[in-house]
Structure formats: C-alpha cells, structure tokens
Structure 1
Amino acid sequence: MTGRDRSGAPPVRTHKEERNWVGKSIRRVEDPKFLRGRGGYIADLVTPWTLHAAVLRSPYAHARIVAIDTTAAEALDGVHAVITGAQAAELTDPMPDFGPDPANHTWRCLAVDKVRYVGEGVAIAVADSRYLAEDALGLIEVEYEPLPAVVDPEAALADGSALVHETLGSNCAYERTFDFGEVDRDFAEADLVVRDRLRWHRSGGQPLETVGAIADFDHATGQVTIDTNSLSFTSYLFMVAGTLRIPANKLDIRPVPAGGSFGSKLFATKPAVIAAMCSRVAGRPVVYLEDRIDNMSNCDHHGSDRIYEVELAVMRDGTLRGIKIDTIDDYGAYIQFGVGHHGNALAQVTGPYKIGSVRYRVRAVLTNKNQQGAYRGFGSEVNNWMLEQMVDKAARELGMDPVQIRRRNFIQPSDFPYFVPTGNVYDSGNYGAVLDEALKLADYDRWRAEQAKARDEGRYIGVGLISAQERSVFSATEFWFWFDEPGAPVTSMPESVTLKVDATGGITATLYSCAFWGNSPETMVAQLVAEEFDCDPHAVSVVYQGSKNGLPATGPGGSRTTVMLAGAVEGATAKIKAKALRTAAHLLEADPDDLKWVDGGFQVKGVPEQRKSLADIAVVLHLFKHSLPEDVESGLEECKVYDHPYTTMPSSDRKDLGVFYPFMGHACHVPVVEVDVETGAVTFLAYAAVHDCGTLVNPRSLAGHIVGGTAQGIGTALHEEFVYDADGQLLSSSFLDYQIPTAMEVPALAIGHAETPSPYTPHGIKGGGEGGRMMAPAAVNAAVNDALAPLGVRLTELPMTPERILTALRASPGRAL
C-alpha cells in the first residue's frame, strides 16, 4: 500500500471471470408496475377515510410569533384539527438532529417562538380534503414581529449581525481547520501558488412526487403505522419514535417508492412526524404530502451553498504539491446533518491526483434560509468542481494543456490501494485509461480543430475536460470525526437481506430500507440473487419490510446500496447453500466434499446425473422433516446483516480520519459547448462521459444514472438556483422561476465504461448512483471557460446564467458589450 502505513484492511477478494447475470443489461423487474401506473406512491394510497393535512408557512424570513388565532379555521365545516407550533411542542419533541449543539438551536416540526426562514411552518390544518385544509389555513390569523433577516453568509459572521439562534451566541454553528500532511513545507517549496475565490449557489433535487407520509395512530394499542417515501437511515428511526414520544417498538415505518429523491428524501422525517402527530390528534389516518411550494421552501433539503478561498501549490513542471481550502457553507436556519457534506468532500479532497498535503477550514454558517440537507453528491460534487477549477487555472497559468497536467499528477494503477492525505483509501483505479477512452469517445482532437476554425469565424466553442472521483459506501465515522469528543461515536452502518426459498424453489428477497430510490433495487437484488443461484432474475420476488419487523439497515445514500446489498445477498446465500448442501448430501447419500454447485443445484463431482436441484432440496426441507437428520430444521430461509466491509477508526488527534469512504469510482467528462457572446446562451455540441464504477451490475441502469445525474449537473451549472433577496424572500419558489433543464437543453451523451474491480467488495462492485452530477458542473464550467478564454473571461460562480456570463463579458478588457 502506498501512503501511510495501515492495518485493518480486509482480505483481498478473488472475483470470478465469468458471470451469468452480473454485468448484463436486463430489463428492470420493477418496470411492469410503474409502466402500468401501479407503483404505489403516497398519493396512490390515500383512502376516503384518510384526512388531509396542510401547513401554514411563514411569509417572513425572520420574525417573532406574537399571537396566532385559529378560531375561524377550527369552526370551518370539515376541519378536524388545527395545531399551532406551541401545541405541536406539547405533542412532540424536537426533530431528529445530527448537527452540533442541537440543544441550542432546537429544530421542530413547526416553529414555536419565532420563524427563521420564509416557508417555515407555523400551523397545521387537518380536514376532510386538502382543499378544505388549505381553506382553513387562509382563516388562521398570525401576528408577527419582523426581525432583521440574515441572508449573506459572510455578513452573518460579522460582529453585530442579527442572530438566527440567540442561544448559540453566534451564527457560526461549527468551525474547524484540519491539516493533513506537510502543508507549510509544500507551499514554501512550491514554484507557484494559484489562488482563487469560487462561489457555488444552492439548488436542490426536484422529485416528481414530493415528500409525504400517511400515518395511522391506533389509540387502542398505541401503535403508529407510517407509510412514507423517505426511509433512509433505517436503523435510526428510533429517533422518530422519540420525537413522537412513543416507544420505538410501537412505531412501524413502511417504505413506499420514493417518486424521485436524488438525496432530497434522505432521512426526511418531518412529513412523517407531522402526519403522525395529526393522526394522534384527529383519531383517523392522516396524509401529509408536500405541495411544490412546501417542497421548495420548507423541505430541509436544499443543496450546498458555498464560498471558497483556495490556494494550490504547484511546481513549474505541473506537479501539484498541496492545497489550502477555506470554505464558508451557508446551512440556512438549522443544521440537521452537521457538516457531513464536508466529510464527503474530505473522502476525495485531492481528487485523482497525488497532492501530498491539505489544509481544510470549514465554517458552517446559519442564515434565514431553508436548511441544507442532501442533494446528489452531498457536498463532494462541490469539492470536485472547486478542485477541477483550480487544476484548470494552474494549467492556464503554466501554459500547459489540461490533458497534460492531469496525466502528470494521476495516481497510477500500481499505487493502489492508495491513501490520500486525509487517511481515506482509494481501493483501485486506472485514471489514465479512463482519460484515454474519454478523449477517444469525445473525438477530442477533432473538436480542438473545430474550435480553432470557429474562433477564426468569431464563434466561441469550448472543450471542457475534467477527471474526478465518486466516493461510495460511507462509514458512520464521517459523522463524528469532526469532534475531539464526539457525543455518539457510532460505527455501524449495515444493510440486511432475508432470502427465502419456498417449497417450489421460488426465491423471495426481503429488503429493509427504501423502496425504489432510483438504483432499481429490485432489479439489482434480483440479478445478484440470480448470479448466486443460477436462476432467472425475473423469477426472483423482491419485497420490503417496515421498520418494526425489519433487520438493521441504513438505506441508500452515498452510493452505497448496491455494494451493501451485494454483501448481504452473498452472506444469506452462503447460509442457504450450506444447509442445502447438507440436505443434498443426505439425499444423495454422498459426502458433502464430493458435491459441487452447478446450474442451480448440487451434483456429485464427475457424476452430473446424480444431482438435486434447489427445488428438489427445498421441497424436502419444507414438507418432509422426517426424511432428514434430526438436527436439520424445516424450511430454507436465512438472513444476513452485512456490515461495512472496510473501515478504520480515526486517530485521536484527527490528523488521520481513517478509512471511511474506500470504494472510489472515477470518471472523465468532456463536454463541447458554444457560447453566444451576445446573449450569454450556452449550447451543447457534444458530450462524452466515461465512468469507472468497478464491476458493472446492470450497465443499462447505470447509464440511466449517468444521463440523469449529468442532466442535474447541467442544471446546477447553467440554470438552477434557489434565489433569496436581501430580505430573505425566496424568489424561485416555483418552476416558473426555478429553471430545470428539459430534453431540449440536455445533449445526447456518448457513454463509456472502464472497470477496475474493487478488491474488497462482492464481485468488485463500487457505487455509481451520483456520478453524473458529481462531474457535470465542473465539466460544463470548464467548457464555458475554455470557450471564453480568448476574451479573458473566466466564470467562477455557478450557475452560469446568461446574465452572469454577460456580466463577466462586460467586465473583461477583452470584450466590450
């Protein structure tokens, strides 16, 4: 191993060369129900007996709640309950919170004493229909005392700024600087220090179905059942029970297909708490399904909102030595996940490059905006953009080609497993091969020639090129290594599967986390099961279990699901095959060592006609107990709780954060754009993307991830932004103002794959669910900057809207508009 000396690595796996199903592009087993409109989303599950909840949102960014009068709303026919924030605080405890010092910035399902952003809920109406509930909201009278709004994150840090949470005494919820490696030495010895200020504005995932829940509180038993389209961090749902003030064994949260998430439904528990609280008060099932304005203004899941001051130490030959990163991150009014966004960044902070040292300073700032949560990449996509911007700027200042500077600094295949300065490991890779394939797929040299020709004609074509990482399969340590004395140094992030072989040989897989979040879990698990048992994936039944009867699970997030479920399937399969082997040996009157698994059953080595299929074995185990040895139990069902395959603990001084995100994917994106300098419009001429996600499970499904993620990344780069004015008003609270790219703006992608199997995971799989968005913002920014380089223009702020492009052009001495 290169880098620092390490222990604790798991044994290196040997992966078989030939596979029957893993690696095949099969049609999704979920498709029939979704194509028939029978997916079973929240809106599909509402019955006539179900009541509807609607939330009254604050029109102010910052204000004290002086009084609320609900009399008229309560008197409206068809209204069953009206609940204010003060009443909700009597019914529920604060929301689950992984952030620092939650005692001093309490986050509740409704505001109690004051509101802290436009859209924060202040009251709820429960009625026979959503229409009536909305009408009731219009009858609620709220008296506010407006307070100064804190909107700019740098101004929020200034002395005398209004405080979002007075009990904190500051708008800085967290601050720390980490040093990894010999930072000062590397900068002192550098030939050149490249500096820049970069700005990434907030955007967010826009699901087709917003976050919702249907809750039924049974007063006879105290049991609460909640159907919800958010069920990640499954093992932590006892925290929701705590918020509802009920025992955890009285809560059953059942998964419903997400209807789109992209991270924005990661542990999105507020709708579930609201629905359950309302059901308890009203005595009937209650559905709360956000409307679009709810989701955009009061979802607790806006994406990152960062300001960077960066320095990159470089040698004249292009060697990258060290990097200093100083970032301010605007978290909005609360900080539910702490600074986990930056843990994601630190997992791959040096990208694919041999950068020897890192200084990382983060300040988490509270402002009067909707709080940050998760969005595809969870902060690491921002780091990719920042780093690739700096590498491109270094290349330009050194007069180097962007391909050349990357090749010079790539970690080489012989270096893996490779430890980056933070202590995280990259398990495998071949970055040069990915780059070569991307240049070929993009027809790079031809586009460079086209670019030169176009410039002679007064047109501005740009060719972007970035090489960046996609970390996958997080360890729980990333949530607490930020603290010298963490309050809860948890280390478990498992995933579980139960496999059952019925009397006919049919196989059912039971999952214990989110239902259809986007990585086609039913197809993926069916393929993995089929690979183990030599059956048709479409013959495998995949079902879900709620939290009450579920095994430990974490759910999707951090591109972890495929790797973790593959391990769980492998483990459960091994148990089933062990029992089946013993049974087959008894039935065949053979020594178990003389049997081998072939084509879906056990057969005597060298005598293939003497065999028992899995169905032969299963029927005996289910129905013929007395034909088996006495200590063999009936049935053929096994479960596996699969823990993280490779993680190590941080050092006590936090100079080494340990291995916490070890399965490192990689990609190279090459977009070609043309920028209209009169209008600021950006048009795509071509786009190539090559990804290495280890061993592919379903290339067709992965291609969908790449296309969808790239579309979102294009939105981040050019269009999408949650815009707040100086008073904290959200100006882009609908799709009229929040511009999502359509099929007209997203180009056809040429997609390629490389495979460097992980030595530590089943089949060599790495995660791949976030790749497109992890790469596209940096790639598109690089292409636009390349196009405008002759005019002396370099965009350092995303999204690059036409207005921002034209403003940069006007400010450039190379172009007068």
Structure 2
Amino acid sequence: MSMQGMKQLQWIGRSIPKVEDRKFLMGQGGYVDDLDLPNMLHVAVVRSPVAHARILSFDTSRALELDGVVAVITGKQAAELCDFMPDFNPEPNLHKWRVLADEKVRFVGEGVAVVVARSRYIAEDARELVDVEYEPLPVVPNARAAMLPGSALLHEKMESNVALDSTLSFGDVDGEFARADIVVRETIRWGRTSAQPLETVGAVANFNTATGMLTINSNSVALTNFAFLVAGTLKVQSNKLDLIPMPAGGSFGAKFWAVRVAITAGMCSKFLGKPVKYVEDRLDHAVSCDHHGSEREYEIELAMTKEGEFRAIKFDIIDDYGAYFQFGLGTHGNAMSQVIGPYNIKAVSYRARGVLSNKCQQGAYRGFGSEVHNFAMERIVDKAVREHGFDRIELRRSNFIQPSQFPFKIPGGNVYDSGDYEGVLREALGLGKLDHWRAEQTKGRAEGRYIGIGVTTCQERSVYAANEWWFFRRSPAMGVSSVPESISLSVDALGAVSATLYSTAFWGNSPETVVAQVLGEELGVNPDDVSFSYAGTAKGLPASGPGGSRFTVMISGAVQGAAAKIRAKALKVAAHMMEISENDLEYVNGGVQVKGDAGKRLGLAEIAIMPRLFKHQLPDDIDSGFEADMVFDHPYTTLPTADRSDLGVYYPMMAHAAHIAVVEVDVQTGAISFLDYVAVHDCGTVVNPRSLDGHVIGGLAQGVGQTLLEEYVYDEEGQIQSSSLMDYLIPSAMEVPEVRLGHHETPSPFTPYGMKGGGEGGRMHAPGAIASAVDDALAPLGAKRATYLPLTPERVLNLIAER
C-alpha cells in the first residue's frame, strides 16, 4: 500500500456517530416529500392495465371536469413536450423509450398519461376517469418465450427480441476443457426482485417562466455528471436546468439514475408554469420503477483437474431485461470485473444474451449483476464438491489467488488490487465454530432435525470506471467517459471549515461523515465542527455520485486534493506571518508549526483571518480568500483494446468476504430458520467500522430477502402477481439472522488510505451461503440442490420431493 495509507491515522478507522444522524432523528432531514411550495400541483400517473397493446385513443373529458384538475397530459402530448428518455444503452438506435408511452404499451403499469391536480387525492380520483382504448397484442411473458421463432416483437425496428448477444472469451478455453479430468455443469435461476426503499423516488419541479430556469429537487442519485441528458429530454438549455440533490430515504440502486419521476414532474411544471410534485406510491414503485433487479438463467461449466485445480469456466446467460434495454449489458460488465471470483482460473468464456419481454425494465439493484454472478460462481463450486467428494473449504483454499500475486490481472483485463483470501476465510472459520455446529448437526439428525452449514467466499468489486458500459460492443455509440467526484472546501475567518458536495445528499451511506473524517485527517479539524451544503447541477463541479461502491474512495480522493491546497496556502500565509521559510514549516494537527518545535505554532483560525480579511498585508502572490476545489477522477483505469482481447482495468478495488450460514430446514413445511451467521469482510482500510457494519447487515437483509422471500412474479399474460407488500414479501427483523461480524484489512495500493468499497456487502454474499447451508441440511435426504431463488417453502419441498 502507499505511504499515505501507512501513516498513523487519527480519525480514519474510528466508529464515530454519523454527523447526519441528528437532523434525521429530529425529523429535519429535508426529504423531497417535505417540500411544499406555494401553488404546488400534484401528479398521478394513468397506467396500462395490459402488458402489450397499441394505444388507439384517449378520452380525458371526464377527468378534466373534476374540480381541482388542472391538466391531463397524454403520451402523444408528452412526445411533443419531451424528447426521448436518456439511457446508457450502447446501441441507441436499437430502440427508444419515452416518459409516457405514446403509441404502444409494453408492460403492465407503463404510464400512458398523467393527471395534474391541486392535490394528489384529486389527481388519483381523476385518473380513474381517463378512458383509454387499447388494441391487444400477443404477450411475450418471459425471456424464453421472447426468443422463440415468430415471437411478437416488442420493438418493431428490431429483428428479434434479443437486444444483444455477445460472447467474450479469454485464454485457451477449448483447450482447457479438452484436457480437463472433470467437467462440472450447473443450471441456476435468479428471480426478479427490486430494492424497496422506505422512501420511493420523488421530485419537485419548478419552472420559472421569466428566466427559463427549471429547478428540480430530486432524491435520485448520480445525476450530476449527466444532467445535460435530462435537459435534452425536457428540451431545456443545459445551463437552465438545476437538479438539486435531496436526501434519499434508502436507494440500494433504486435511485441510481432514476430519471423518469424527475422528468415527469419537470415536463408538467414546464407545461403549466407552476411547481409540480410527483412522488411514487408503493404501486408505482413496484410496477413501473426505473429499476427492477436482474432476472437470469445460467448454464455454467467448470473444467478441473482430478486434484481439484480450477482451469477454465464457461457462462451462458439469458437475461430478461423487460421492455427496455436502458443500461445495455452494464450489469454483465460488473460481473466480468470479478468473473473468476477469488480463484486463479486461467480461461473464461462469457456469453450474455439481453432479451426483451413484457415486464418493467431492468436496472440497478445492490450488486448490479455481480451479486448474481457470485451466486452462480459459488453454486458451481459447491456442485463440484457434491459430485466429486472434495472438501469444500480446502477446494476453495487451494484455488485462491495468493497474496504474493497481487495486483492480479484476471482473464479479460481487469485487475484485483490486493487481497488475503485465505486470511479472511481463516477468520470466518474461527468465528463460525464449525466443530460445534457439526456436532449439533449430527445430534439433530438423530432427532429428525435437519441442520445445514453453508460457506461462501466471493468478491465485491468497487470503484467503477465507465468501460463496463461499452465493451460488450465492438463499436460502442460513445467512448469511455470519466466518472469523477468533486468537492469545494472553504475556511472562514475563524478557521471553521465548510464543505460543498456536488452529487448526492444522504442516501444510506454517510457522505458527510466520510468527508468529516477525512478532513479530520487532512486538516486536523474535529469532524463534528465541519458544516455541509449541497450544490445543484447548475452550480456544480463534475460529479458522478454513488454506485458500484465507489463514493467513499472517490470523495476521499477529492477531499485529500482540496485539503492539500488548503494546507499549501496555510503554509504560505504562515511563513509570511512567522517570517520563516515555508521549507521550515509543517502542517500538523490543525495548524502550522516550525518543524520539530510545536511551541512555535499558528492555529488554522489565526492563519485564516489573514487571506479572508487582511489580504493587503500579505505578499502579492497570495490571493484573497481561503477556498479550494478538487475534481478527482478514477485512481487507476485503462482503456479496452480495439479488438476486446483486453477489456482494460475498470473495477480494480476488489473487496472480498467469507460468509458462514447455519440454518435449520423444516422438512414438513419447507420453512428455513437461521441458527447462526458469520460474515468477515475485507474492504481495505475501514473508514468507519460502525457504518460498514451497517452496510453489511443491511445488505445481508436484502440477501435474505432475495434468497428466501422476494420475487416479482408475472403470469403468462404479463400481469404482475406480486405488486403489493402483501404478496412481495420483505424480511423483517424476525427473518434476518443476528450477524457476527469480522473485518480483515488488506489496503489497496491505489486509493486514499488504502480504502476499498463496501456499500454492497451482504447481498453480494448471503445467497450463496444460505443456498449452500440448505443443500447441506437436505443432503441426507438426497434432495436436489438449491439452484432457483427465492427458496420459498414450496420450492424447498419440491427439492425434497424431486430427490
């Protein structure tokens, strides 16, 4: 690791309370639904009741007659008010989509019109009075049906519903399989889910008819760098759009580039010249959010020697994207960044087919496709254990990439920065008390109880560069973009430090706490004394926001750069005040002192007042003011080669974890209960252990939901069967196990302080551990292996019945 990461740290690594806590606990966090502007109007969306149909006509007269209704905007009108929706599809001519369907609907719940009224209650009453005539079309209910010859096309300009079929191969895949002593094959399915944040996506838009400025307060994240795309959709000049970040009551991917709500509110405000609020309700979020999670089928093959060495692996994936291909194969870019897991595998073939169906479109959910890949990877390893009698701990351990091999270039080109996978596993095994649970398992079986122990060891990529969006295409529509993060620091006349952030307000991570802790290191201030503000895009520096477990690393780099400028100016001013050479001074503990003599010192407040108020007493080469900006871009990335023989380095900060789950399966009901759970993570240098623990536990809860409970189910007519929280089951505190946590720090050589991302921990690892434990519990019954999530009681009983 770098020398910067090796210095003695005062604040990094401490479990300080979040500096944001007080305002949220006192109800003063300022969520978007708290905004109440004078004369503000409200939106309700008219949604399609059918999955696939042409829109023949609208009758809005009854709705417009309702007292309090101001306007009804249909899809055809919206197509005149707005351009096509922005997205990150690498093939922009493949298809387009709009904020409201204008000619045809492609999934149940797709918006076809909006009602704008003086209250949300009136708007919702009025939308029931909007009459829409549809011409039904054949429904394409899933990816398998979409791939059949003659299947109805979702988008007529496409030749088929397969939006993209791409295979990437690295190393001698065919040769390794031909020489293999053992080839293990597995099929898995991962059910469609989505994040369920306590606060749904919302926006308040306010168009100023005098200036042409459109201001939108939004709880979406990651809008700053690409705000111009939103401006293009809304047909406003890019510098006349101000997207102001609001605290997000949970995101987990659901608010990553969630633009439909903001564009809906912005369109209505621009059309009517009044403030407009639109906040999704639970039904909106379920049936037509910007981001359903992945829904995939995998065929996997693993080539091995008889001694158990992994040599090559093949993936063939069918991915049900829903109606629109808004992120292209970006979720598979995430998977490719850690395609071999923690194992030293020499050759890889990865085929991904993005298929369109009559469902809500797929987008981001915690892990963004790499969590599915982890599950697939660990299932094939456990299959090898089951079929060929290997010890599951030793098989993993013997195939681990070794600490001396880092930085490690994987097939495909990405680099793993650092790691000690055996050390993480050893710590997890120490916490897991496997001997105790094996004894309990033996005792339980004699009593007719079925206890299982599951183990998983897998990756958590972090800090993305943008290569992943484009490399599945030989000729992407645009080049690789930057993904910077920025900050502005200001020191007032009394030495108090203020920070301005440019991407996202609070969303679950603690941006203010991270910045405050780094400022504690860099400027020697108390984190509680730092004040914070958030700039809208009209005033902002470049910023990309959270996503891909990147923010802590990126904002820390920005803070380090800006703080270095503050320290440099402090040294210059202090040198003049103390009449001593800068070379004889050092910045230590919130002030400047003579090297080796702490008695000759000026505090930051004594220094700051000079450039703030008394510039004319300073030399000409010292400017007025005491501010610094910093735009920090990716610390280590390389571009893909033109022939894609090397995809470049684009996700190198590779965290790692080992999870051990102990469950009991009731073979009469199919119910699964937890007896113990251990999670040990290596996220490099830990910034705030308490915050990281929260990430792991929260992610684990979502992993439990994915594994045991949650699924968006569509029937053959494309009707969603689990659109409410009565049918879409979320784990409560009763279903989530108490977790015993450990942290194993292997600092990154590329990042500030050696940090790695940890924001997606838990969900990245829990499904593999739980499925492994269920297999172990049911092994005496000869049950089928757990390969289809979620493992509902019915599916568990089917595993037993289909032994």
With structure 1 as the length reference, what TM-score do the two structures score? 0.97
State the 4+ residue runs in structure 1 displaced beyond 4 angstroms: 11-14
Whole-Å Cα distance in 1 between the matches of residues 15 and 7 of structure 2? Answer: 17
Aligned to 1:799: 790
Matched to 1:807, the amino acid is: N
1:361-408 Cα shifts (integer Å, max 9, x gaps): 000000000000100000000000000000011112221121110011
Whole-Å Cα distance in 1 between the matches of residues 738 and 221 of structure 2? Answer: 33
Whole-Å Cα distance in 2 between the matches of residues 327 and 411 of structure 1? Answer: 25
Comparing 468-477 with 151-160, greater Cα deviation is found at: 151-160
Task: Work out which of the residue numbers 248, 269, 272 in structure 2 matches 1:279.
Answer: 269
The question of 1:354 aligning with 2:344 is answered yes
Listed as ranges, the gaps of 5+ residues in structure 1 are 1-10, 813-817
Tell me, what secondary structure is at the counterpart of 2:6? Answer: coil
Tell me, what secondary structure is at the counterpart of 1:771? Answer: coil
1:572-629 Cα shifts (integer Å, max 9, x gaps): 0111111111111111111111111222111112332211111111011101112100
Task: Work out which of the residue numbers 454, 463, 473 in structure 2 matches 1:483.
Answer: 473
Whole-Å Cα distance in 2 between the matches of residues 470 and 163 of structure 1? Answer: 37
Matched to 1:798, the amino acid is: L
1:173-198 Cα shifts (integer Å, max 9, x gaps): 01111101110111111111000111
1:648-677 Cα shifts (integer Å, max 9, x gaps): 011111121010000000000001000001
The question of 1:50 aligning with 2:40 is answered yes
Superposition deviation, residue 48 in structure 1: 4.9
Tell me, what secondary structure is at the counterpart of 1:487? Answer: coil
Contact 1:100 1:174 in 2 (8 A): no
Aligned to 1:644: 634
Aligned to 2:447: 457
Whole-Å Cα distance in 2 between the matches of residues 196 and 46 of structure 1? Answer: 54
Superposition deviation, residue 790 in structure 1: 1.5
Aligned to 2:309: 319
Matched to 2:408, the amino acid is: Y
The question of 1:683 aligning with 2:673 is answered yes
1:735-790 Cα shifts (integer Å, max 9, x gaps): 00000000000011000000000011000000000011000111111111111111
Aligned to 1:734: 724
Matched to 1:600, the amino acid is: G
Aligned to 2:114: 124
Give aligned pairs, total: 802
Superposition deviation, residue 490 in structure 1: 2.5
Whole-Å Cα distance in 1 between the matches of residues 22 and 577 of structure 2? Answer: 39
Contact 1:318 1:395 in 2 (8 A): no
Task: Work out which of the residue numbers 161, 164, 189 in structure 2 matches 1:199.
Answer: 189
Whole-Å Cα distance in 2 between the matches of residues 756 and 664 of structure 1? Answer: 10
Matched to 1:733, the amino acid is: S
Matched to 2:799, the amino acid is: A
The question of 1:369 aligning with 2:362 is answered no
Matched to 1:348, the amino acid is: Q
Aligned to 1:34: 24
Task: Work out which of the residue numbers 692, 701, 710 in structure 2 matches 1:720.
Answer: 710
Superposition deviation, residue 101 in structure 1: 3.1
Whole-Å Cα distance in 2 between the matches of residues 184 and 597 of structure 1? Answer: 59
Matched to 1:53, the amino acid is: V
Matched ranges for 1:206-285 at <5 A: 206-285=196-275
The question of 1:83 aligning with 2:73 is answered yes
Tell me, what secondary structure is at the counterpart of 2:474? Answer: coil
Contact 2:348 2:411 in 1 (8 A): yes
Matched ranges for 1:397-546 at <5 A: 397-546=387-536
Contact 1:14 1:759 in 2 (8 A): no
Matched to 2:761, the amino acid is: G
Matched to 1:43, the amino acid is: D
Superposition deviation, residue 489 in structure 1: 0.7
The question of 1:556 aligning with 2:565 is answered no
Whole-Å Cα distance in 2 between the matches of residues 582 and 247 of structure 1? Answer: 42
Aligned to 1:108: 98
Task: Work out which of the residue numbers 595, 600, 603 in structure 2 matches 1:610.
Answer: 600
The question of 1:568 aligning with 2:542 is answered no
Matched to 1:21, the amino acid is: W
Tell me, what secondary structure is at the counterpart of 1:185? Answer: helix
1:111-130 Cα shifts (integer Å, max 9, x gaps): 01110000000010000000
Superposition deviation, residue 12 in structure 1: 4.9
Matched to 1:799, the amino acid is: P
Matched to 1:691, the amino acid is: H
Aligned to 1:786: 776
Contact 2:142 2:358 in 1 (8 A): no
Contact 1:688 1:750 in 2 (8 A): yes
Whole-Å Cα distance in 2 between the matches of residues 71 and 103 of structure 1? Answer: 36
Contact 2:92 2:477 in 1 (8 A): no
Contact 1:503 1:623 in 2 (8 A): yes
Whole-Å Cα distance in 1 between the matches of residues 798 and 629 of structure 2? Answer: 60
Task: Work out which of the residue numbers 148, 172, 190 in structure 1 matches 2:180.
Answer: 190
Whole-Å Cα distance in 2 between the matches of residues 119 and 417 of structure 1? Answer: 47
Contact 1:192 1:316 in 2 (8 A): yes
Matched to 1:262, the amino acid is: F
Whole-Å Cα distance in 1 between the matches of residues 266 and 637 of structure 2? Answer: 37
Tell me, what secondary structure is at the counterpart of 1:350? Answer: coil
The question of 1:811 aligning with 2:802 is answered yes
1:61-115 Cα shifts (integer Å, max 9, x gaps): 1111111110111121111110000000000001001114333421100001110
Contact 1:526 1:542 in 2 (8 A): no
Matched to 1:295, the amino acid is: H
The question of 1:392 aligning with 2:406 is answered no
Matched to 2:789, the amino acid is: L
Identity %: 60
Superposition deviation, residue 14 in structure 1: 4.3
The question of 1:598 aligning with 2:623 is answered no
The question of 1:143 aligning with 2:112 is answered no
1:703-743 Cα shifts (integer Å, max 9, x gaps): 00000000000000000000001100000001000000000
Superposition deviation, residue 17 in structure 1: 3.9
Matched to 2:375, the amino acid is: W
Matched to 2:797, the amino acid is: L
Contact 1:650 1:657 in 2 (8 A): yes
Whole-Å Cα distance in 2 between the matches of residues 12 and 445 of structure 1? Answer: 40
Whole-Å Cα distance in 1 between the matches of residues 30 and 799 of structure 2? Answer: 48
Matched ranges for 1:2-17 at <5 A: 12-17=2-7
Contact 1:301 1:373 in 2 (8 A): yes
Matched to 1:227, the amino acid is: N
Matched to 1:460, the amino acid is: Y
Tell me, what secondary structure is at the counterpart of 1:615? Answer: helix
Aligned to 1:697: 687
Comparing 465-474 with 46-55, greater Cα deviation is found at: 46-55
Tell me, what secondary structure is at the counterpart of 2:583? Answer: helix
Contact 2:90 2:477 in 1 (8 A): no
Matched to 1:28, the amino acid is: K
Aligned to 2:733: 743
Tell me, what secondary structure is at the counterpart of 1:531? Answer: helix
RMSD: 1.0
1:114-164 Cα shifts (integer Å, max 9, x gaps): 100000000100000000001110110011111111012112111011111
Whole-Å Cα distance in 1 between the matches of residues 477 and 37 of structure 2? Answer: 43
Whole-Å Cα distance in 2 between the matches of residues 32 and 46 of structure 1? Answer: 22
Whole-Å Cα distance in 2 between the matches of residues 674 and 607 of structure 1? Answer: 64
Aligned to 1:630: 620
Contact 2:94 2:163 in 1 (8 A): no
Aligned to 1:288: 278
Contact 1:470 1:666 in 2 (8 A): yes
Aligned to 1:5: none
Superposition deviation, residue 13 in structure 1: 4.9
1:482-536 Cα shifts (integer Å, max 9, x gaps): 2111111133110001111111111011110111111111111111111111121
1:779-817 Cα shifts (integer Å, max 9, x gaps): 1111111111111221110000001111121111xxxxx
